[in-house]
Chain A
Amino acid sequence: MEKKRFEPGRLKGWLYLLPAILFLGAFMVYPLVDVFVYSFEEGYNSASQTYLGVGWYNYSYVLHDPYFLQAVKNTLILVAVTVPLSTGLALLISVGLSSIGRLKNLFQTIYFLPYVTNTLAVGLVFMILFKKTAYSDGLINFLITSFGGNAVDFIDGPYWAKMLVLCIYTTWVVLPFKILILTSALASVSQEYYNAARVDGTSKLRIFGRITLPMISPMIFYLVITGFIGAFKAYSDVVALFGTNLNAAEMNTIVGYVYDMLYGDSGGYPSYASAAAILLFVIILTITCVNLLVSKKSVPNEAGGM
């Protein structure tokens, strides 16, 4: 008979991991499996916790739901506008930041401020800046009319106006992170490269295009990928601007649709919510893979600081 050797180290290791495994198991792994199960259970009733059958009906329902299609459209517009806009703007600002000496720290601190503020709270400020009420057209409209334009209600008005505010606010919210990452990426490019380029009489534009950009391109791609993911998951900034009843405002996002299905006025349908969440996940996964493929082709893997 073989005696089992007692290994104290082995047990101890698992003991230390136990809390983490329990929590992750209960609130991450199990839900991950369960969400797929939900998404295939047709006619699930959350009160009795029973279902009628198994199949693709939930997906088909979601894909035919005009609210979902509206949410997809909104999300796509938001992604298509804010990702390039915020990345480009962040690049411009970071380049400006790294070229100055005085006041650099002050500017950096100011630019980072939106990152640590409550999205919902500052969203309210944006709302009153853009909102047109019975008493006042709001500050932004005041600026528009003083330049000869017509006042628009950006919060309860036409679709394009609401989308515009959303894009502006989203960009304002995501920029701090991008500026921070790009500024440190720029700082990690060794000064020697710039000196070498200067001695060779390289023009500023060419230094930027041929040296700086290739060297920080891995970071730019990182920002584009995280930017895509973040924009696809947009929700709380939309709520901040337009309130919780997003379907009525035609401003719902995919994540908003998921939560509305789960809870709230139209809620109580975890199966539809699961199907929508999985669809979102598939979209994000696809876009991330495409991004990675593109970046592998165009980012030289040797690039980086010295």
Chain B
Amino acid sequence: MTGIDYEKLEKSARIRQRAVRVVTYVFLAVWAVIVLFPFYWMLLTSVKSYGAYNSEYVPRFYTLSPTLKNYADAFTAVPLGRYLINTAIFAVATTALMLGVIVLAAFALARLEFRGKNLVFVIFLSLMMIPNELVIITNFVTVTNLDLRNTFLGLILPSVTSVFYIYLLKENFEQIPDNLYYAAKVDGTSDLKYLFKVMLPISRPTLITITILKVIECWNSYVWPRLITDDEAYYLVSNGIQEIRENGFGRENIPAMMAAVVVISIPLIILFLVFRNKIMEGVSRGGTKG
């Protein structure tokens, strides 16, 4: 082999490498555009005036006279504010109740010793495999019979436990060394105090992740609220948007519709941008949407 041979090899390798890199970046950028485009379109449409939008036979990719009137319409023509408040109440109450329930359960399963514990845990695990669609029918009947339709209680009750989050938290609790518990016991700390003073602070990252994921889940939930509410006063954003689509604004006011869509999307996008790493880590540990 001679030196010239090497140079050629090297050169062709470098050219090929560069070509591959360019293709990769182009491909990734195209996909990024596909992902972002609907968001752009929704923002763009939401600031076009009703007249301008409807006169565009060929849709324009920009607007020269942005208006916020659609946002005003979104809040006045339909009770969008009501939907947002309802959803916030629903999300906060559900998440808070759920945290209480799962923390206690995870603590019992991870820390306390009692007969039947393993059996309970196995039953919990097997419940993880039950699809929501199977149990929602009876729950609908139950809540109807309890006269809880069109109440927050009816909305909230079925989703205050999550076997998966109990499992996640239990795993997390179990990583806390036993010695801490024994040390606390020697000092005469009660179980409950130990839970709140030691375990919860140590498990804060997991708790935050669970909280965020649950809030997202609540914000996007559609099926159960749809079944359980037919009074607009109790609509959540998903149902609200469906209602807007079918009856609100006079069917064709798409800019106002998009303004509503922007308003209900923004809280989650902000939440995501702030807690990006927590969310992505949490989802890769056990999200199942897909």
Q: In the bound complex, what is the Cα–Cα distance between A124 and B25 (angstroms)?
A: 30
Q: In the bound complex, what is the Cα–Cα distance between A99 and B18 (angstroms)?
A: 12
Which residues of A have CB within 8 Å of B25? 100, 103
Tell me whether B108 and A274 are in contact (CB under 8 A): no
Which of B105, B284, B290 is close to A174, meaning CB atoms less than 8 Å apart? B290
Which of B42, B104, B141, B280 is close to A270, meaning CB atoms less than 8 Å apart? B141
* Category for how many chain A residues contact B: 35 or more
Tell me whether B142 and A26 are in contact (CB under 8 A): yes
Binds A, one of B69-77, B131-139, B176-184: B131-139
**In the complex, residue of chain A having the shortest beta-carbon distance to the beta carbon of B58:** A142
Evaluate whether A20 and B31 lie within 8 angstroms (CB atoms) in the complex, with A128-B45, A277-B137 already known. no
Tell me whether B101 and A125 are in contact (CB under 8 A): no
Which of A13, A32, A263, A281 is close to B114, meaning CB atoms less than 8 Å apart? A13
Check if A209 is an interface residue, CB within 8 A of chain B: no
Chain A 219-235: CB-based contact to B (< 8 A → 1; otherwise 0): 00001001101100101
Tell me whether B101 and A23 are in contact (CB under 8 A): yes
Q: In the bound complex, what is the Cα–Cα distance between A142 and B60 (angstroms)?
A: 10
**In the complex, residue of chain B having the shortest beta-carbon distance to the beta carbon of A178:** B290
Check if A62 is an interface residue, CB within 8 A of chain B: no
Check if B187 is an interface residue, CB within 8 A of chain A: no
Tell me whether A35 and B163 are in contact (CB under 8 A): no
Which residues of A have CB within 8 Å of B14? none
Which residues of A have CB within 8 Å of B134? 31-32, 35, 277-278, 281
Nearest CB of chain B from residue A253's CB, rounded to whole Å: 11
Which of A9, A103, A114 is close to B113, meaning CB atoms less than 8 Å apart? A9
Which residues of B have CB within 8 Å of A24? 124, 127, 161, 163
**In the complex, residue of chain A having the shortest beta-carbon distance to the beta carbon of B27:** A96
A contact patch SS: helix
Which of A46, A99, A107, A226 is close to B32, meaning CB atoms less than 8 Å apart? A107
Tell me whether B27 and A255 are in contact (CB under 8 A): no
Check if A184 is an interface residue, CB within 8 A of chain B: yes
Q: In the bound complex, what is the Cα–Cα distance between A182 and B279 (angstroms)?
A: 16
Check if A110 is an interface residue, CB within 8 A of chain B: yes
Tell me whether B24 and A100 are in contact (CB under 8 A): yes
**In the complex, residue of chain A having the shortest beta-carbon distance to the beta carbon of B270:** A116
Q: What total of chain B residues lie within 8 Å of the partner, measured CB to CB?
A: 92
Tell me whether A115 and B283 are in contact (CB under 8 A): yes
Tell me whether B137 and A273 are in contact (CB under 8 A): yes
Evaluate whether A129 and B38 lie within 8 angstroms (CB atoms) in the complex, with A12-B114, A116-B279 already known. yes
Tell me whether B131 and A119 are in contact (CB under 8 A): no
Q: In the bound complex, what is the Cα–Cα distance between A19 and B20 (angstroms)?
A: 57
Q: In the bound complex, what is the Cα–Cα distance between A227 and B166 (angstroms)?
A: 24
Among the interface residues A20, A24, A135, A223, which one has the most CB atoms of the partner chain B within 10 A?
A: A20
**In the complex, residue of chain A having the shortest beta-carbon distance to the beta carbon of B127:** A28
Tell me whether B133 and A233 are in contact (CB under 8 A): yes
Tell me whether A28 and B130 are in contact (CB under 8 A): yes
Tell me whether B261 and A125 are in contact (CB under 8 A): yes
Tell me whether B289 and A177 are in contact (CB under 8 A): yes
Check if A121 is an interface residue, CB within 8 A of chain B: yes
Which residues of B have CB within 8 Å of A236? 222-223, 238
Evaluate whether A17 and B104 lie within 8 angstroms (CB atoms) in the complex, with A124-B245, A273-B137 already known. yes
Which of A31, A111, A137, A235 is close to B31, meaning CB atoms less than 8 Å apart? A111
Chain A 256-284: CB-based contact to B (< 8 A → 1; otherwise 0): 00110011000000100110011011001
Tell me whether A180 and B280 are in contact (CB under 8 A): yes
Check if A303 is an interface residue, CB within 8 A of chain B: no
Tell me whether B133 and A280 are in contact (CB under 8 A): yes
Nearest CB of chain B from residue A230's CB, rounded to whole Å: 5
Check if B258 is an interface residue, CB within 8 A of chain A: yes
Tell me whether A19 and B35 are in contact (CB under 8 A): no
Check if B117 is an interface residue, CB within 8 A of chain A: yes
Q: In the bound complex, what is the Cα–Cα distance between A109 and B28 (angstroms)?
A: 12
**In the complex, residue of chain A having the shortest beta-carbon distance to the beta carbon of B38:** A125
Q: In the bound complex, what is the Cα–Cα distance between A20 and B289 (angstroms)?
A: 24
Tell me whether A142 and B59 are in contact (CB under 8 A): yes
Which residues of A have CB within 8 Å of B273? 109
Tell me whether B105 and A20 are in contact (CB under 8 A): yes
Which residues of B have CB within 8 Å of A292? none
Q: Given A110-B35, A177-B283, 17 other A-B contacts at CB below 8 A?
A: A13-B112, A20-B105, A24-B127, A28-B135, A31-B137, A34-B138, A92-B27, A93-B31, A99-B21, A119-B238, A121-B265, A125-B42, A129-B38, A136-B58, A137-B57, A180-B284, A262-B137
Query: What 3 pairs across the A-B complex have the smallest Cβ distances?
Result: A13-B114, A31-B138, A16-B108
**A-B residue pairs in contact (CB < 8 Å), sample of 12:** A19-B161, A31-B135, A99-B21, A112-B280, A113-B36, A115-B289, A125-B38, A128-B257, A136-B59, A258-B137, A278-B134, A281-B131
